[in-house]
Amino acid sequence: MSLNIGGISLRHGLILAPMAGAADASFRAVCRAQGAEYTVSEMLSAKALCYEQLSRKTADNTHKTANIARITPPEAPCSVQIFGSEPEFMARAAALLASGEYRGADDGRLLPVAIDINMGCPVHKVVSNGEGSALMKNLPLAGEIIRAVRDAVKIPLTVKFRAGWDADHINAPELARIAEANGADAICIHARTREQMYAPGVDISIIGEVKRAIKIPVIGNGDIFSADDAVRMITQTGCDGVAVARGALGNPWLFREIAFALDGIPYVPPTDAERLELALAHARDMIARKGERVGLAEARPHMARYTKGIHGSAVARDAIMKAESLDIIEEIFSGLCP
């Protein structure tokens, strides 16, 4: 299998899906190093980026939105995901991001290789503004947004959405056709409705339906927690690539495992010691990028996840979530893996 996103060629089509609050620069870099071929930023508000750029303040904390789009070499190729419901703001934000001509987040950053439009976020705060998956209820506006962003940037454009709003309104194939007609280079479909949020169980047949509806590449997404899950999605739906979100948390090696399965090569999983070594490197990188306080707070849930499956880790996870320094986490790890 291979995936081509507007000229960006990925041998296995393995993508780290966007995860606000989890797939930050550090985690994207970790996943890239373990076989993800392409990453996507956390979602950022197009309108917030535009307003932030208009504001005269220049202190670091006034560029919070721009910071989300900060890409460094270990995460590349990385696409930046934007959300919003107003075509003009979406177009302006995309143009700013693609040109790199915005203030903030400018030390060592790379340009995004693509822009991804979020039409799948189910969160109330987003949907109540007509953004994210609410756009699946307004396909003409969804089309206008895609067209406006397409006209604003030359780099590849992708759109991520769900099966539909609810079981009575499954319209992903229709939105896929609209995305294709308005110039998208690929689409990513999460095989759940908005109503399902993240409830267990996905019906991946919708991915096959979308694949049959359009000619541009289709990236399948939803409940890939093992190489078997990925292979099943690819063989059953004919999708051109897969995006993995939760399955990579605590297990970034999943990408390599999937690549090996696709190549028919036996896969040897990392030892417990190797897992915890990478976990610590991940935490150190988070602290280096975000500072001790924020970095450690955000690293704790990642660290807890890395211990899953290791003997005696249930108790350790509680301690990790309370650890006040990385040294303490390191000590807990040594107890697990002497």
Ligand X SMILES: Cc1cc2nc3c(=O)[nH]c(=O)nc-3n(C[C@H](O)[C@H](O)[C@H](O)COP(=O)(O)O)c2cc1C
Catalog residues that contact ligand X under the rule CB under 6 A. Answer: 17-22, 42-43, 81, 118, 120-121, 160, 190, 221-224, 244-247
CB of 227 to ligand X, least distance (A): 13
* Candidate list 78, 121, 188, 239, residue with the active-site label: 121
SS3 190: strand
Cα angle at 24 between 231 and 66, to 5 degrees? 130
**Is residue 239 annotated as part of the catalytic site, yes or no?**
no
Q: Given the complex with ligand X, which of 32 and 160 has the nearer CB atom?
A: 160
Half-sphere exposure of residue 325, counting CA atoms within 13 Å on the CB side? 3
Residue type at 219?
I
Q: Given the complex with ligand X, which of 112 and 120 has the nearer CB atom?
A: 120
Helices vs strands, H then E, count in the chain: 14, 11
DSSP calls for 282-326: HHHHHHHHH-HHHHHHHHHHHHHHHTTTSTTHHHHHHHHHH-SSH
CB of 30 to ligand X, least distance (A): 16
Residue in 53, 20, 56 with CA at minimum distance from that of residue 132: 20
Q: Given the complex with ligand X, which of 261 and 332 has the nearer CB atom?
A: 261
CB of 16 to ligand X, least distance (A): 9
Q: Given the complex with ligand X, which of 59 and 199 has the nearer CB atom?
A: 199
CB of 55 to ligand X, least distance (A): 23
- 74 exposed, middle or buried (CB, 10 Å; 0-12, 13-18, 19+)? middle
Phi then psi for 84, rounded to 5 degrees? 165, 170
CB of 45 to ligand X, least distance (A): 11
Q: Please tell me the distance from the alpha carbon of residue 162 to that of residue 172, in angstroms, as a whole number.
A: 7
CB of 22 to ligand X, least distance (A): 5
* Nearest residue to ligand X, by Cβ distance, number only: 245
Q: Given the complex with ligand X, which of 122 and 208 has the nearer CB atom?
A: 122
Q: Please tell me the distance from the alpha carbon of residue 229 to that of residue 243, in angstroms, as a whole number.
A: 12
Q: Given the complex with ligand X, which of 306 and 333 has the nearer CB atom?
A: 306
CA pseudo-torsion sign 272, 276, 281, 282: positive
Residue in 67, 52, 56, 57 with CA at minimum distance from that of residue 291: 67
Q: Please tell me the distance from the alpha carbon of residue 188 to that of residue 171, in angstroms, as a whole number.
A: 14
Q: Please tell me the distance from the alpha carbon of residue 197 to that of residue 176, in angstroms, as a whole number.
A: 20
Q: Which residues are catalytic?
A: 121
